[in-house]
Amino acid sequence: MAENVLKSSESGTIRDADDSGCSTPDESRRNLEEEFNVQRAKMKELFLQKEDNLKQLVQEKQQLESELFGVRAQLEQLQTLTENQRSEIQSLQMLVSETLEASSSSSEELRRLRSVNLDLEQKISQLKSQNVEDSELVRSIVEPLEAEIGALKTKLRDTDARLQETLKSVETKEKTKDITNSGGDGKTEGPSGCDMCVNYERQLATEELEGVRSIHDETVRGWQAERAESGRRVHELEDALRAADEVLRATSEAAERASQRALDLVTTLTRDNATLIGKYTRKAVEIQNEVINLPDTVIELQEQCLQLRDQLIVVQLGREEALASAEELRNQLLQHSTMLHQQDAALAAARAETEQLREQVDKLQTERSQITEIADNLRKSTMMVEQLTEEKQRLMAEAQESRSRVYVLQQELDNSEKIQLQRIREADTEVRWQHDDDVTECPSCKTPLPNNKKKVHCRHCGRIYCSACVCRSVPSGPRGTPARVCSVCDTLLRPHTAPYFSTAPPHSPD
């Protein structure tokens, strides 16, 4: 109702200004003052409403700015997280590839070492069986030799009773020789929000990045240490297997040489034994068949004693050679037994190495499963990074659009505030109705106005506009006659409608 009264009063004022001869000057002045006071009160109310609207717009602007800062901070965090994840993924991929190469090379080396170990075990079993056969052969040869030597001893003792003292001296010499040999053997066995907010957020992001980087560096160092430890273990295993191979090769060569020497010695002893058996058997037969003819004279008896002494010396020399051969055979048997013990120890060491290699293979299999799990985690992380990248791009586009809209709204709001303030200030200091000669262009769209045509006035504020800017109309007077007004006055006269600057989405100044 008050708006209708205001409109009717304004239309009456305009008509009174056009038809100034209808009433007396005092009455018209009084009426003008009353209408001016009413209009002033209405303008004050409008001004207060505009201030409230401006406050709301400022709050909305601050809220939008805070949301924009939040979106920027989230975008920066997402960007830093994406970069960190990319660097971690690259480093993990390098580590996975290096570990896979190391595991493949170690598996190939392990297969080769297994084949070598199997060959060594076969060689050891062959050498062991050969040594058993050699020992049995030597034992079968030595036992009859010892029996024959005992028989020869008894025969010599029965035949030559007069040479007991010589035999005792020979036995003492043999004992001393045995003692020296045993001592020598023992000796040889002994030694073998604002800038501050942005800076603070940047500092927090930097600290978080440093933490992630330190964790990543520690992870990389741990992987490198484990990798170096695995390489060192593989090298140690290779060295141990190489040493075991050399020991087994040397042992096999020594065993072959010893077996060859034993065969040669056994062959020689067999030949000598056969010779001795044939000779002394023939001699025994001859002695048994010989007729005992004792000499009649002392000289012949002395000559016979001398012949018997020579024969006894020859027999003693043969006995000493047989004893030396038997001692040598005993030493060779001891050497064979020690070699067998060494081969058994080498076999046990090879088996232990095989067990260690199996444990190493199990460990490598577990590491391979861990690497597979890490690869799965890397694929998942890659997918997550791609999703985060898409989300970041979408948020960046939304933030850019929001930023442009906020900028345009801010410009429009500043322009509208300036225009309204200027108009409110000018309303009290100048006459509203503009003369045609004072205006050469439209104040709204800056379109040049022709001088030869009648210019169009806004029926509310009295300013001159082009016909396009005064296209709106509001009812005026008691009859509701439509009056052409500008967009600003249309917004002021119809407060329940949308303002002129928000009827369409604002466009970017670019």
So what's the pLDDT on residue 161? 60
* pLDDT > 70? residue 113: no
* pLDDT > 60? residue 135: no
So what's the pLDDT on residue 359? 80
Mean pLDDT of the chain: 69
Cα–Cα nearest to 107, from 371, 370, 357, 369: 357
Residue with tokens 């861990």: 370
Q: Can you tell me the distance from the alpha carbon of 22 to that of 228, in angstroms, rounded to the nearest whole number?
A: 112
Q: Tell me the average pLDDT across 468-497.
A: 85
Looking at the chain, the domain(s) classified CATH 3.30.40.10 span: 434-510
Reported pTM = 0.26
The residue among 20 and 400 whose pLDDT is bigger is 400
Which residues, other chains included, contact 167 with Cβ-Cβ below 8 Å and sequence gap of 6+?
157
Q: Can you tell me the distance from the alpha carbon of 103 to that of 235, in angstroms, rounded to the nearest whole number?
A: 14
* pLDDT > 70? residue 110: no
So what's the pLDDT on residue 501? 65
So what's the pLDDT on residue 507? 42
Question: Which contacts qualify for 195-204: CB closer than 8 Å, 24 or more apart?
Answer: 197/69, 198/69, 201/73, 201/76, 202/76
So what's the pLDDT on residue 283? 59
* pLDDT > 70? residue 163: no
So what's the pLDDT on residue 247? 72
Q: Tell me the average pLDDT across 85-111.
A: 59
So what's the pLDDT on residue 274? 63
The residue among 377 and 48 whose pLDDT is bigger is 48
Residue 143 three-state SS: helix
Most confidently modeled of 18-22, 150-154, 505-509? 150-154
Q: Can you tell me the distance from the alpha carbon of 291 to that of 287, in angstroms, rounded to the nearest whole number?
A: 8
Q: Can you tell me the distance from the alpha carbon of 69 to that of 194, in angstroms, rounded to the nearest whole number?
A: 8
So what's the pLDDT on residue 91? 59
* pLDDT > 60? residue 327: yes
The residue among 50 and 380 whose pLDDT is bigger is 50
Q: Residues 283-293: pLDDT tens digits?
A: 556 666 666 66
State the angle between helix axes of 195-289 and 298-427 in degrees (0 to 180), rounded to the nearest 10. Answer: 170
The residue among 158 and 26 whose pLDDT is bigger is 26
Q: What is the 3-state secondary structure (H, E, C) of 158-181?
A: HHCHHHHHHHHHHHHHHHHHHHHH
Q: Is the dihedral of CA 176, 181, 185, 188 positive or negative?
A: positive
The residue among 92 and 256 whose pLDDT is bigger is 256
The residue among 179 and 45 whose pLDDT is bigger is 45
Cα–Cα nearest to 227, from 125, 370, 352, 111: 370
Most confidently modeled of 3-17, 52-66, 120-134? 52-66
% of the chain surpassing 70 pLDDT: 47
Decide: 458 and 486 in contact? Cβ < 8 Å: yes
The residue among 427 and 55 whose pLDDT is bigger is 55
Residue 337 three-state SS: helix
Q: What angle do CA 315, 320, 325 make, to 5 degrees?
A: 125
Cα–Cα nearest to 463, from 485, 491, 495, 494: 485
Q: Tell me the average pLDDT across 370-399.
A: 76
Q: Tell me the average pLDDT across 269-286.
A: 62
Which residues, other chains included, contact 332 with Cβ-Cβ below 8 Å and sequence gap of 6+?
138, 258, 261, 262, 265
Q: Residues 345-363: pLDDT tens digits?
A: 777 777 787 777 778 767 7
195-204: buried (b, 16+ CB within 10 Å) or exposed (e) per residue? Answer: eeeeeebeee
So what's the pLDDT on residue 150? 57
Decide: 70 and 199 in contact? Cβ < 8 Å: no
The torsion region of residue 480 among left (phi > 0), alpha (psi -120 to 50) and beta comes to left
So what's the pLDDT on residue 26? 85
So what's the pLDDT on residue 129? 66
So what's the pLDDT on residue 189? 40
Pick the CATH number of 434-510 from 3.40.50.620, 3.40.1080.10, 3.40.50.300, 3.30.40.10: 3.30.40.10
Helix (H) or strand (E) holding 474: strand 472-476
Q: Tell me the average pLDDT across 170-193.
A: 51
In this structure, are strands 481-485 and 472-476 parallel, antiparallel, or unpaired? antiparallel
So what's the pLDDT on residue 190? 40
The residue among 187 and 306 whose pLDDT is bigger is 306
